[in-house]
Structure 1
């Protein structure tokens, strides 16, 4: 499951960089590459969102890891 965590984290980081570009430069890289709210860009936004929701579970798993290490 570690590969899935790493993949989800990578996708969320890419999404965060896209939001940084939107916030600073008003440039949406996903919309630029795949079209403004095209079906492909909506799938990418959905995948980033799902990965972000999945990573919420990382908080609980990190707590479990620190309990074992202590």
Structure 2
């Protein structure tokens, strides 16, 4: 479970960095690396980033409901 959490968190961070590039420079790194926004591989990356964001809602709401420190210690046990 920890590995999945780290992978999804990394994908969310990378997605956020991509949006920063889009907003600041009108440069879509994912599209440029994987053959354009409509390319199959780019669409897969977009879907994985989106699913990762949905998955990261679980620890977010857990932290909001029981507090950040207890949420972190509960995950370790």
Equivalence for 2:22:
22
> 4+ residue runs of structure 1 moved beyond 3 angstroms?
none
Distance in 2 between residues matched to 1:19 and 1:5, nearest whole Å: 21
TM-score using structure 2 length? 0.79
Describe how 1:27-66 pairs up with structure 2 within 5 A. Answer: 27-36=27-36, 37-62=38-63, 63-64=65-66, 66=70
**Runs of 5+ unmatched residues, structure 2:** none
Q: Confirm whether residue 13 of structure 1 aligns to residue 17 of structure 2.
A: no
**1:27 alignment partner, SS class:** coil
TM-score using structure 1 length? 0.86
